A and B are shown apart, each in its own frame.
Chain A
C-alpha cells in the first residue's frame, strides 16, 4: 500500500468516548475555467477510483407535461455520441474492468464509474464526450422509452406500497414539482419524443452545471491535469437558474387511502412538510435530523419502543428525514400493524406518541445518546468510495457547500434540547400533513 494510507486514522477519532470529529472526508476542491466544479477525496486503500459526474438538474426540473423527462435523458446518455456507438459506453467500461451506472432524483442526475486507477483517464474521456456530443437516433430512443415504461411498472405499478408513496407525495406537494414521480406519469412517459430529450440536454448539460467528484486512489494534483484535458476543453454554456414554483402554505390535513386487492399487509404513512437545509439556516435542519432519529431510527427509538414493543400494536414503526433538498421537503413517519390490529387503533397510538413528544419534550440523556450515536456511525461512511462521492454530490446539488458535509458532526453535536423541541412544534403539525393508508379490500371501511 502507498504511504498515504495512514492519513485518516492519524486523527485518532474515537467519538464514542468524547471527541467530535472536526471533519468527515477532507475533500479538496477547485473549479475549471468553464465553470465545472471538481472535488477530490483521497483514499489509498485500493488502486481504485469512484468517478462521479453530477448535473444540477433533476426531475423537479421536468418541463410541464413531461414528468420524468430528466430520468429518460439519463437512460439516453448511454445511447451514443458521434464517436461512441449506442450501447457501447457500458461495454467499454466493462471491458476495462469497471462498473458503471447512473441515477436521477428530484434535484440531481449523476453518472458514475468504479474503475481501476490506471483506467480513469479512459472513463473521463468517455464521460466528457457524452457531456457535449450526445447523438441520438429514433431507433435507439423509442425502444428505451419502452424500457422506462417497464421500469415504472416494475418499481411502481406492480407494488401497492409504491403506488401509495407516489400518491402521498402528489398530495403533500400541491404545486411544487416534488409532487411528480421521479420516473414520470405513465401517460407522459408514453408521449416523450427524441426532440424533448435533446432540448432538455442542450438546456442543462453544460460543464458549468456539472460537478466532478473523484474518490479513491487519487489526489488533486493527479486529477487536475486529467480534468483539464477532458472536461476543461468543453466550452462553457450558460445554464438557466433553477426556479421552481413554490409550495403554498398548507392549511388542511390531507388523507389518502389506497385499497387494493393485492394488499395483504396494511400500512400507515404520515408525511409532514419540512424545511430543507439552507446554507444560512442549518441549525433547524440539524435539530430535525436529531428529532427524527430519536423518534424513529432503531429498536430503542420512541416509536418502535412504544408502538412495537410496549403496546404491541405494530410490527414495524419508524421515521425518516433527509434535509438535503433544494427546496422545502417532507419528513415521514410510518407504521405497519401487527396481524389483527386495525389501522384505526394504530393511528391514534401513533398520534399519542407524537403528542407525548410535543407535550413532554425531549430528555437530556435521550438527546445525548442519540447525538453520540449519529456522530459515531458517521465514521462508517468513510469506508465506501461511492458512498463518499454520493454524500458530497448530494450536498453540492442541493444548494449546499462542502462544509455542510464536513461540519455535519459538529452541527449535530451542537443541537440543543430546546431546538429539537422547537423543530418538533414547527414540523409535526397536523395541518401540514398527509396521512396515507394502505388497505386490503376486505378491511376497507373498518380500517
Chain B
C-alpha cells in the first residue's frame, strides 16, 4: 500500500566542491523550492544569566544584513515573495527558506547575508526585544505554556534544558549587541550544519549555491560544553491559574530517532496516545468519558535527553480523573506490551501514512533535514517502512518497559480539584 510513494521520492546527497552537505529531493512539479537547515546553536548553549539569547538572535537574523538595513532586507524578501524564518529551540537554531525558482539566486544571497553579515542595528534589537517581552507576557496567561514551562523547569532544574528558550524579562534585558554577534561567530559553524532541500532544483545547481551561501561560515564552532542529563521525575506540580479548565503536561525519558528501539517506540507511542482516535488514551479519556477534547503523547527529540511527553485538558473538577486514567494506561503498557491487533494496526497506519508526510516541499525538506541531523542516512525513506514492519514482540516488550515503567513528572496549570496545590 502506497509503498511506491516513499520509494518514489529520490533523495540525493549533494556535496558541494567546498564540502557542504545537503540532502536533496528534486521535485519539478511546482516552480519553487523549500530549504530547511539547522545548527547546533540552540538555547541550551545560552549563558544562564542571558537565557533567551539564541531565540532573540534568531529573531534578528532577518532584520538587516550586509548593505540592507532592517526595512530594506524585509522589502527584498517581501517584494520577491521569498519566505525566510528563523527560530531557536533547546538544541538548534533552525532556518526555513522558500523561494520561487525565478528568485532563487537572490534568496540564497539573502540567506548568506543573514548568516554571515547580520547587522544587529540598535532599532531592530530593541524592537525584537520588545516583541519577545510582549510574547512572554502573553504566554503567562497561556496555560499550555505555563504547564509545559514548569515541566521543563522541574525536570531539568540546574541544566540548560531547564531554562526557558525565550528567556525571562530579566535575562532578556541583559542581552547586548556583542552577545548576539558572539552567537553568530561562535555557534553558526559548518561542522554541524545540516540541510534538507526539496523542490525545483537539481544537484549541480544546488552544489554551486551551497558553496556560495555557506562557504564563509567558520568550520568549527566554539560552544560551551553541555552535559547529558536525565529528568527529575515523580512530582505532580500545580501552577494556580484562574481558568475553568486545567491543562496538564506529563512525560518521561524517551527514545531518540537514531536508537535501534526508535521504531518500536513509535508503535508503542501510537498505541498509547500518538494515534489520535486509534489511541488508548483517546478511547479512555475522550470517547468513553467525554473528559477532554484533546489528549495526546509524542516523542520529543532532545539531543541530550530524548523525552516522551503528553498533554490533556479537562475541567478543573474532573481533571484528577483524567490524570489517573493517564497513569493507569501508562502503567498497563509498562506491564504488558500492546496486543497483536493493536500492533498490526499501528504498523499499517505508520507505514501507509508515511507518504502523506512527504507530500509537500516543506514537509520533505524538514524530513531530509531530520535524516541528516539524526544520522539516519540518505536511503532512510526507502528503509523506514521495513524498519517499522520488522519490530517484534520482544522489541515492544523491551521498549514499553523502557518508556513506561517508572514515575511520571506531571504539571497542571489551572485550579484542579483533588490535587495537592
Contact = CB atoms under 8 A, between A and B. Distances in A.
Interface of A: 1, 5-9, 12-17, 43-48, 78, 87, 90-91, 94-99, 114, 116-119, 142-151, 153-155, 157-161, 260-265, 298-300, 305, 308-309, 312, 315-316, 336-339, 369, 372-373, 376-377, 379-380, 382-385
B8 interface: yes
Contacts, number: 231
Interface stretch (B50-58, B94-102, B203-211, B219-227): B94-102
Interface string B188-205: 000000000000100000
Contacts of B138: 161, 264-265, 336
Contact of B78 (A116, A263, A298): A298
Contacts of A385: 359
A9 B360 contact: no
Interface of B: 1-2, 4-5, 8-9, 27-32, 70-71, 74-75, 78-81, 83, 98, 100-103, 123, 126-127, 130-131, 133-135, 137-138, 140-143, 200, 241-245, 247, 275-278, 283, 286-294, 313-315, 345, 348-349, 351-356, 358-362
A158 B314 CA distance: 11
A260 B278 CA distance: 38
Contacts of B74: 298-300
A46 B242 contact: no
Q: Counting chain A CB atoms within 10 Å of each CB, which of B32, B133, B277 scores highest? A: B277
A149 B290 CA distance: 9
B264 to A, nearest CB: 19
Contact of A315 (B83, B131, B276): B131
A87 B31 contact: no
Contact of A97 (B71, B100, B348): B348
Contact of B28 (A9, A144, A265): A9
Contact of A300 (B78, B103, B276, B356): B78
A45 B359 contact: yes
Contacts of A384: 359-360
A87 to B, nearest CB: 6
Contacts of A12: 31
A239 to B, nearest CB: 29
Nearest to A384: B360
Given A16-B81, A90-B277, A143 B349 contact: no
Contact of B1 (A6, A96, A147, A382): A96
Given A144-B290, A316-B131, A160 B355 contact: no
A350 B418 CA distance: 47
B198 to A, nearest CB: 10
B278 A91 contact: yes
Nearest to A75: B293
A309 B5 contact: no
B349 A158 contact: no
Contact of A339 (B83, B133, B277): B133
Nearest to A145: B290
Given A47-B355, A308-B127, A158 B5 contact: no
B32 A46 contact: no
A99 B313 contact: no
B79 A372 contact: yes
Given A154-B293, A376-B81, 17 more contacts: A14-B102, A44-B29, A46-B5, A46-B8, A94-B345, A95-B349, A96-B348, A116-B352, A143-B288, A145-B290, A150-B290, A154-B247, A154-B313, A158-B243, A299-B78, A300-B75, A384-B359
Contact of A45 (B29, B290, B293): B29
Contact of B140 (A1, A264, A369): A264
A143 B287 contact: yes
15 contacts: A5-B29, A9-B200, A44-B29, A45-B27, A47-B355, A96-B348, A114-B359, A117-B2, A146-B291, A147-B292, A150-B314, A153-B244, A158-B244, A379-B30, A380-B98
A157 B360 contact: no
Nearest to B341: A95
